[in-house]
Structure 1
Amino acid sequence: MRALALALVAPVAFGCVVEDGFEGGELDDVTDVVWDGKADGTQRRAVTASSVEALAGDLSSLAPPCRTADAGRPCEVYLSSSSALGSFGPLGAYGPLGALGPLGSNAWNASAWISAAGDWSGHVDRISGPLGASGPLGASGPLSDRAYYDTLPAINDWAKQLQAGGVWTVLGPLGPLGPLGPLGPLGPLGAHGYANDRGGRFTHGERIVRTVRVPYAAEPFELVELYDEVTARSVPPDTSFVARGEISRGAVDLFPAKSLRDQVVTIVVVPEKQLDNFDLVIRDSAGRVLASSSSAGYIDFVQLQAPRGGRLSIEVSLAASGHFLSKTYRLYVVGSGSRFYETDIHGDHQLAL
């Protein structure tokens, strides 16, 4: 009966949504599972900022190998802490995911102006915009089989490592900078047209909206909310959201998440101020540490292969700070969907769960 009810309230049409849950089964209907091996008997793998840092510039373990990046530069150049993975890169405080980017409640944040427009989701079906078949989530976008599996690795060896399980995977199309993240059509910049409540939840009338279904995709997409700290802890957990938090020295902030599918989940903690360094610990529902990241030179992240029904407890702590202002951060959690569960990349930067 629940499946029938969901089918009635969520017709398959561009822009249609499911209220406070997921089409095909709400989060509470997805049975919790133990984080054991995958169905094929292999171990789940994780990549973290710490595991990449532990390579110490040596990429010889990678398969396929990474020899070429842009013209005249080897891949190892981009392992520098002053390069793409460090605080001066796109994951840093001054990058597009930080306080000066398009996400936030300040006058310069584009999401604040879009949310002020209220709910205009009723007009989405009238245009072929970013959620359309020609948008970034469709067959012409970076998540298409051709773009992801053929075009991206054909650019050079470094670009191959942007895929799931790669050394620079956090910067790739499955991470917070990609089309499934908060900067894309599923996030607060509003291609879906839903309004926000004070906690950051998307609303349509009196309903809380969690997903959007489009006719060209086999499964619904999770919307990417920009939550305040309290709301992020109180809503039914999923694997696509941003939480804005503040922490004091010696404290640990906890955020729940739960995977609806067998998928890759990418978690990044971005400081809002340049001189802060935050660490991550990811635990399962039994409290066992699945992965952790405490890099001194990179922005901390964890990417792991999550099972359907796998619960995560995400712990954020302050490792160091060079100022006396508030210690604020943004926690990014992005689920890839079941299409990108596996990887053909292997190397010493990958950890067995």
Structure 2
Amino acid sequence: MDEIQDIEGLTRRALQAISRIDTLRDLTKLKNDNLGSTSWLAKYSASIKILSQEKKPIIGKAVSEARRKILEACQDRDLALRLNAQNEQFTRETLDITALPTRIFPGARHPIHVLQDKILDFFLMRGWSVVEGPELESEWLNFDALNIGPFHPAREESDTIFAEPRSASMLLRTHTSPVQLRALVSNPLPLYCVSSGKVFRSDPLDATHTPVFHQLEGLVCDRNITLGHLKGTVEDLARYLFGAEVNLRMRCNYFPFTEPSAEFDISRDGIDWTEWGGCGLVNSKVLSMAGVDTVHYTGFAFGFGLERTLQFIHSLSDMRDIVEGDIRFSQQFGLK
């Protein structure tokens, strides 16, 4: 019969095409073309009902046999393609445990932490100790013990971040000076110490301010300490950080915890000056509250922000670049 020959010929072509298929997507399409609702087999199946009683079983058997052969061929090819894909994946992902490791490009620490360690090393090499304290501090240590009275503007909630409940008198420290007080109370004299860490202010984030920044403070308490010792220490640190050509000047100022007090500025050309930090001889009231014999001991203290120091070293114009975590900023400090 012509119909039988047609079915057998179409079946052979389908089987040949299936054997040449390379992808699962193409196999799915070919399967639909031969076994789907609009395929040639579907048309032959639909035509059986109009055939004579003699042809119906013959054509029906041929259609069923063709469907079985094509379906089995598709299943076999599907399995083979999946196994090939799995083997290729295994080949790609095979690990040679005897191979030497490829080069790993290291990242870099944040430049603020690098600078912090550099400054701490400066003081450690001179015999100073590094002291630390909590970021959540008591209001008394943050203000009262530093001779900052109850009506000082810095104690307003617009400047300081207080913890709840307010009655607990706890806050996020606004400077690292409480660490110095803790060191005075817990260590024997003479004392030469430096502390560094995060401090918190109710400041907006802009080119020159950030609500969370890093501060470094130094404290000396010994016999016969003078402003000359303070000035020499700050000058040595400035040359260490900025180079021998840096210019340093001190301007009289007022801080409740030092007397006399000054601000120190730095400049590369002696014309354009940048405010760097504050300093002074420790106020005798502060020493007394820490239990220090003010008749025989005096001291000096100084402090500055690490972000502003980093800005001056690398001529950075916007403090936001330091804190926003842009990878392009970190790359210039060694992150690859």
Coarse TM-score class (shorter-chain normalised): under 0.3
Give the alignment's TM-score, normalised by structure 2. Answer: 0.23
Give the alignment's TM-score, normalised by structure 1. Answer: 0.22
Higher-RCO chain (CA-CA 8 Å, sequence separation at least 6): 1
Larger relative strand fraction: 1
Larger relative helix fraction: 2
The structure whose Rg is larger is 2
